[in-house]
Amino acid sequence: MHPRAEELIRLLDLEPHPEGGYYRRIYKSESLVLRGKDGIERRALTSIYFLLTEGCVSRWHRVNADEAWHHYEGAILELLSFSADGSVGFSHQLGPLLEGGSPAHVVPAGWWQAARPLGAYSFVGCTVGPGFEFEDFTLVAELPEESRPVPPVISDFALFL
């Protein structure tokens, strides 16, 4: 593991995330909102630090809220996403403008997403609104084979399971 990645894990007290990588929640709003059509009460906003190291991926998952990704340091992060019905897919380069990336990107609620660093490590933040709760989180790998979504051709899908 890159020495800076090890330092970030230690300094920021990051722990393993179920989708891969390391994280720590840094904000959970005190304000409550009702989420979309289902009317479930959630915190208005949550935010985490998220670190992926070389060879590690954020596995295909979806969140029932909009998720804004922000690049802080390290290599460009390849962020893949596709719509719930599989009709639209994107590969986005999250990172420094001077290296061909963009510093922020939003994945809409209900879209499938996965990510990987294109170098030694990528240190990013993820802000979710309405706020993230693990019961609103689905990993593709935990779904029965027959109900797994089929993405448009944007990447080697199996790599991110």
Query: Residues 91-116: what's their mean pLDDT?
Result: 92
> Contact at 8 Å (CB) between 160 and 59?
yes
Helix (H, G, I), strand (E, B) or coil at 141: helix
Query: Residues 36-44: what's their mean pLDDT?
Result: 88
Helix (H, G, I), strand (E, B) or coil at 12: coil
Domain 3-160 has CATH 3.90.320.10: no
Position 160 scores a pLDDT of: 60
Domain extent listing, the chain: 3-160
* Confidence bin at 59 (pLDDT 50/70/90): very high
Q: Give the CA-trace dihedral at 66, 32, 72, 51, to 10 degrees.
A: -80
